[in-house]
Amino acid sequence: MDTPVLLGEALQFFTLALERAGVENARCNAEWIFCHVLRVTRADLILDRGFRHLSQKEREKLEKLISRRAMREPLQYILGETSFCGYEIETVPGVLVPRPETELLAERAADFLKKRKEAKILDYCTGSACIAVVLAKFCPGTNLYAIDISENALEIAARNLRRHSLCSRIHLIKGDSLRAAEWEAPFDLIISNPPYIPTGEIERLEPEVSRYEPREALDGGVDGLDFYRQIAEQAPEFLKKDGVLMAEFGDGQWPEIKNIFEQKGWEEIISQRDYCKKERFFIAKYFKNLHS
């Protein structure tokens, strides 16, 4: 591609490069990278591809980013951000990429919180703070406390809070358990998307995950359930009498998670399904709190 080329020709060339690298939805990925580099919408990309020539500088930048994607680096890291429930969230290496399925968890939590004029929320394993940002935006009367063990994740979370002017309402805390926020208890809602991939399965995941996403945000222990055992044990101490716990989990984990919580005395544990009709997160109450 040393001679001047049309945008459309370059798009086709780079799409084929991504296809050869095994990238799913290669055309869509290439279009997003072109939009990012050229600072145009996807509609503009379609209109321009037949007559606009790329500059040398544009071609060099496209080649660099397409090469990163061909190495299976997540598109969200390359673009530096992703949309989550309609809000742009900074997403760079060192933080888990927000998934569409987690949007359902955030939306269900927002529905619960809208019934309360004021509420205090604990977001455990906050990562990029995507859930906390959405809940703060959807529910203006809330105050949130967000825990993560990773300094890198907390730095990125802080940038997302500044981006959305939420520093006064979301308080970031470094910690490895719910107890890191015990002085703020009790909470109306504890919400979590914890690590839940079994240790031995991480290397078998798609390269975008196994090579690039932070292991500490993925590794849930030998069976993937370490964090659920911790939450089931600790969360009753930090919930209000009518408080609720919501948490995401992985494929096939629901029966054992339900068993873990039942053994710890939780009496209402209901699973919710994702877009693919798979059980993906649960809502739980601890009725013993109602009688304490």
| 8 A C-beta contact, residue 131 and residue 102 | yes
Structural contact between residues 131 and 123, judged by C-beta atoms closer than 8 angstroms: yes
* Residue extents of the structural domains in the chain: 7-71, 93-291
| pLDDT in the model for residue 5 | 85
CA 133 to each of CA 5, 106, 174, 259, 283: distance values in angstroms, whole numbers, following the listed order: 42, 10, 17, 31, 20
Q: Is the pTM higher than 0.85?
A: yes
Q: What was the pLDDT predicted at 139?
A: 92
Measured in degrees and rounded to the nearest 5, phi and psi for residue 101 equal -65, -35
Query: Given this model, what pLDDT does residue 176 score?
Result: 94
Angle between helices 7-20 and 26-38 (to 10 degrees): 130
pLDDT tens figures, 8-52? 999 999 999 999 999 999 999 999 999 999 999 988 888 877 788
pLDDT of 289 > 70? The answer is no
What pLDDT was estimated at residue 288?
Answer: 67
Gap between the terminal Cα atoms of the chain: 72
**What are 155-197's pLDDT values in tens digits?**
999 999 999 999 999 999 999 999 999 999 999 999 999 999 9
Closest by Cα among 138, 154, 167, 283 to 217: 154
The first and second tokens of residue 172, run together, are: 């970031």
Amino acid identity at 151: E
- Does residue 96 carry a pLDDT above 90? yes
Determine the pLDDT at residue 164.
97
Q: CATH assignment of 93-291?
A: 3.40.50.150
* Confidence category of residue 292, pLDDT binned at 50, 70, 90: very low
Question: Closest by alpha carbon to 133, among 112, 103, 111?
Answer: 103
Residue, of 239 and 3, whose pLDDT is higher = 239
**Cα separations (Å) of 279 from 104, 223, 268, 272, 282?**
12, 18, 16, 6, 8
Query: pLDDT digit string (tens) for 41-95?
Result: 988 888 877 788 999 999 999 999 999 999 999 999 999 999 999 999 999 999 9
pLDDT value of position 291? 44
Phi, psi of 89 (to 5 degrees): -120, 125
Tokens of 267: 């009496």
Distance from C-alpha of 99 to C-alpha of 101, rounded to nearest angstrom = 5
pLDDT interval class at 261 (50, 70, 90): very high
Q: Is the pLDDT of residue 223 over 50?
A: yes
Pairing of strands 87-90, 81-84: antiparallel
What pLDDT is recorded for position 46? Answer: 84
| Average pLDDT of the residues of the chain | 94
Beta-carbon contacts of 291 under 8 Å, excluding residues fewer than 6 positions away, are: none
Q: Are 119 and 151 in contact (CB under 8 A)?
A: no
pLDDT (tens digit per residue) in 103-160: 999 999 999 998 887 899 999 999 999 999 999 999 998 999 999 999 999 999 999 9
Residues pairing with 173 in the sheet: 147
How buried is 52 (Cβ within 10 angstroms: 0-12 exposed, 13-18 middle, 19+ buried)?
Answer: middle
